[in-house]
Amino acid sequence: MSQIFYPKNKNKFSYSLSSSGKKLLVFDRNTAENCSKVLFKRFPELSALPQCVINAGEQHKNLASAQLIWSSLLEHKLSRQGELIGIGGGVVTDLVGFAASTYKRGLSFSFIPTTLLAMVDACYGGKTGMNFEESKNQIGTFCEAKDIYIDSIFLETLSERQKRNGAVEMIKHLILNDNDSSAKLNSIKELSYFYSDEEIQKSLLLKKKYVDQDFKDEGIRQALNFGHSIGHAIESVGIQQSLDILHGEAVLLGMIIEAKISEELLNCPSDIRSSLESIRTKHFKDVHFQLDISTLLPFLLQDKKNEGAIHMSLLNEHKEVKIKTAVPINLLDTIFT
């Protein structure tokens, strides 16, 4: 399992990094510009290392970016004893993990996540990957980061939109782990509640609970997919049509729709959906996406969880997740009408 470090034990993280061979830092253009000064102040020894900078954005989580990392690894002559260090959000962690796990049949890698979304979700769990032919996360591997360093100081480099983006995954974790989640969510007046070190660590530990029981995502870990079947389809449409929609924004819409499907199929109480719709109205009123089942359906059928039918992780009458729930297409037609 990955070792997770926080500012209180950053010296142990430094020591762990020093135990590997030659290293290469990977940034995207945003983190290279906005986060490198913070990073090098925390870890001055990293400033002398070679760097690879990839383009920022979900549309660049592709083979061209992976090739750029592979080329940089060859240029700097990293052997299998070397290490990649990814500094950034989910695009960087997915690509660095994928590039490292396939370079010379496996290279060690570590993460320093700089977005809230990456801190509570993308950095941990061993899922690596890239988008392919306008579909989300179609190519990838399971391979864990050696070390992860999480420091909320990097949140100071983010826009409010990017912080809200990460808060959505924390809201999902709360729903999955608290049967009274609606009352909890309704009591939270501002999303800044989620931005503290304490809440970040708590949320990541909730994800860790699922991952450590089911690393290959064959059973209970699929509970974490709540909101993601629809959410990933929305993101894929966004990639296809060059729309400006972030992962968390798509997942929020996905959770609202999947909560509605849960009500219809599994008698889930409506308070979950009501709470999510209130959050959308208050904090995500600028998120606009035309929800059209005919546009989303091809991507739902391509989803890795589906084999000729549509399956989702939904909430039952006890607000517990039921994985691999078959969803009739005619019900989707009704939900989206």
Domain end among 156, 174, 193: 156
Element of type H or E holding 4: strand 3-5
pLDDT at 207 over 70: yes
24 in Cβ contact with 52 (< 8 Å) = yes
Q: Does residue 274 lie within any of the structural domains?
A: yes
Q: Does residue 209 lie within any of the structural domains?
A: no
Q: Do 133 and 31 fall within a single domain?
A: yes
Spatial separation of the C-alpha atoms in residues 290 and 77, rounded to whole Å: 48
* CA nearest to 157, candidates 28, 30, 5, 4: 30
Q: In this predicted structure, what is the pLDDT of residue 306?
A: 63
Q: Name the percent of the chain lying above pLDDT 90.
A: 86
Q: Does residue 30 lie within any of the structural domains?
A: yes
Q: Do 53 and 143 fall within a single domain?
A: yes
Helices 247-266 and 228-241 sit at what angle, rounded to 10 degrees? 140
As given in the structure block, the two tokens for residue 299 are 């991507």
Residue 305: domain span: 160-202+219-336
86 in Cβ contact with 96 (< 8 Å) = yes
Q: Which whole number is the average pLDDT over 315-337?
A: 93
Q: Does residue 149 lie within any of the structural domains?
A: yes
Q: Do 185 and 142 fall within a single domain?
A: no
Q: Do 175 and 89 fall within a single domain?
A: no
Domain end among 102, 129, 156: 156
Spatial separation of the C-alpha atoms in residues 70 and 96, rounded to whole Å: 10
Q: What is the pLDDT of residues 56-96, one digit of tens each?
A: 999 999 999 999 999 999 999 999 999 999 999 999 999 99
14 in Cβ contact with 43 (< 8 Å) = yes
Q: In this predicted structure, what is the pLDDT of residue 170?
A: 98
**CATH code, 125:** 3.40.50.1970
Q: Do 79 and 60 fall within a single domain?
A: yes
pLDDT at 308 over 70: no
Spatial separation of the C-alpha atoms in residues 259 and 336, rounded to whole Å: 13
Q: pTM of the full predicted structure?
A: 0.94
Q: Do 56 and 165 fall within a single domain?
A: no
Please report, for residues 170, 277, 281, the alpha-carbon distance to residue 193 in angstroms, rounded to integers and kept in the order given. 11, 18, 17
136 in Cβ contact with 89 (< 8 Å) = no
Q: Do 10 and 125 fall within a single domain?
A: yes
* Residue 123's pLDDT band (cuts 50, 70, 90): very high
Q: In this predicted structure, what is the pLDDT of residue 303?
A: 72
**CATH code, 310:** 1.20.1090.10
Q: Do 82 and 41 fall within a single domain?
A: yes
Q: Does residue 136 lie within any of the structural domains?
A: yes
Q: Do 164 and 280 fall within a single domain?
A: yes
Q: Which whole number is the average pLDDT over 218-245?
A: 94
Q: Does residue 248 lie within any of the structural domains?
A: yes
Dihedral angle, C-alpha 47, 78, 125, 61, nearest 10 °: 80
Q: What is the pLDDT of residues 128-150, one digit of tens each?
A: 999 998 788 889 999 999 999 99
Domain count of the fold of the chain: 2
Provide the 8-state DSSP code for 115: S
Q: Does residue 208 lie within any of the structural domains?
A: no
Q: Do 181 and 135 fall within a single domain?
A: no
Q: Does residue 214 lie within any of the structural domains?
A: no
Q: What is the pLDDT of residues 269-302, one digit of tens each?
A: 999 999 999 999 999 998 888 888 999 999 998 8
Q: Do 8 and 146 fall within a single domain?
A: yes
Q: In this predicted structure, what is the pLDDT of residue 288?
A: 83
Domain end among 156, 173, 190: 156
Q: Do 142 and 174 fall within a single domain?
A: no
